[in-house]
Structure 1
Amino acid sequence: MKLNLSIKEMTQIGMCAALMAIFSQLSIPLPFTAVPVTLQIFGLIVLAVIVGAKIGTLSLIVFVILGAIGLPVFANFSGGFGVIVGPTGGYIIGFIIMAFLIGYASSKGNKIFLFVAAYIGVTIDLIIGTLYLKIVTGMTMQGSLIAGLYPFIIKDFITVALAVFIGLKVKKSVEHILTRNVIA
């Protein structure tokens, strides 16, 4: 498979990966779990809505690779392959699926479809992350749910609505500006 990316697309991928690293640092550790509260879900959704499936997915792949090779792009300035195979690795891997689903839905122009896809994406991420947490830590399923799902589900489901709304507003503004500059 050959990816033909323009300079603009490569720049967008790099910028989105960098923004994800910033959103990752806005985190609050919780005393009862290895999974911190971050703005990663918010940032991912906003970015995927704006840039679509191709750029969004590639951005998250770059973000994960940068973290896996040791750059401190994950929450609390962490990095390294150990994070990917650690308790929060499932959530990080799930981000790639989320970016694709949300970016794809955004490109279709149907707001209802986009909201549904965003909620499905965050649900998939929470399921993957919670199951991965269970496997990696050896917790019981109940323990994994308490540590990896329950503290985040309400926040994430509110975040989805807010992030999609903001992403659509920004996307509309950017498209308006680009259209004005092309015509002018």
Structure 2
Amino acid sequence: MNEQSNKLRDLIHCGIFAAITAVLAQLEIPLPLVPISGQTLAVGLAATILGSRKGALAMLCYVLLGTVGLPVFAGATGGVHILFGPTGGYIFAFILTAFITGYYLEKTSFSLTQAMIANTGAMLIALLIGTIWLKYAAALPWAGAIAAGVTPFIIPGLIKAFLASWIGINVRKRLISANIMQDHVAKEKVPA
């Protein structure tokens, strides 16, 4: 397959994961400031399946879709005001955490154990960034920001990290074996 076809296929994969994130964002449990949604599951899936660059690009596409006003964020919302509201830090963190998760897996291995480590670490980073943002955006004291932005998300976050790892590793293997996706990492590690 030529280089142009590979780039097109990569862009299609990124678009698919931006769309999956938009759909999973609508699965939510409303809470006062920050809902529990399927967005972080989608971030973990994108990074685990696509790797660092394509996973981050998929999340960038998702954020841009929401920024221009498409209702892709939790609660079918969109617009710049969402990014500067209480949940903005979590949304911006999706890009970084997708990159970090994929990068960690590329440097270690795409295995369930490593994916669980990567997705759990990314969840903690997203909670840290999101909570700091929440504290200032909602003018909360630290205790209030932690109570609203961290505590309700630990158990669901661990469950989503496991699901993203397990589903992601299995789907990645199947996509590679079906030649729908290339394993660039394996090619880079083969000695010349």
Normalization by structure 1: what TM-score? 0.88
The correspondence of residues 1-184 of structure 1 with structure 2, limited to 5 A, is 6-30=7-31, 33-108=32-107, 109-111=109-111, 112-178=113-179
Q: Which amino acid aligns with 1:56?
A: G
Q: How many residues align?
A: 174
Cα RMSD (Å) of the superposition? Answer: 1.7
Which secondary structure does the structure 2 equivalent of 1:71 belong to?
A: coil
Flag structure 1 segments of 5+ consecutive residues without an equivalent: 180-184
User: Which whole-Å CA distance do the structure 1 matches of 2:7 and 2:170 have between them?
Assistant: 25
Q: More helix per residue: 1 or 2? A: 1
Aligned-partner Cα distance in 2 for 1:14–1:114: 22
User: Which secondary structure state, in structure 1, belongs to the residue aligned with residue 89 of structure 2?
Assistant: helix
| 1:110 CA drift (Å) | 5.0
CA distance in 1, matches of 2:124, 2:33: 19
> What are the Cα deviations for residues 97-156 of structure 1, in whole angstroms up to 9, with x where unaligned?
110011122334253443322222111100110110000011111111111110111110
Distance 1:55 1:7 in 2: 12
Could you say what secondary structure the match of 2:99 adopts?
helix
Write out per-residue CA displacement over residues 34-87 of structure 1, whole angstroms, 9 at most, x where no aligned residue. 211111111111121111111110111111111111111100110000000000
1:174, distance to aligned residue in structure 2 (A): 1.5
- Which runs of structure 1 show a deviation greater than 4 angstroms over 4 or more consecutive aligned residues? none
- What's the % identity of the aligned pairs? 37
TM-score computed with the length of structure 2 as normaliser? 0.85
In 2, Cα distance between the equivalents of 1:133 and 1:119?
21
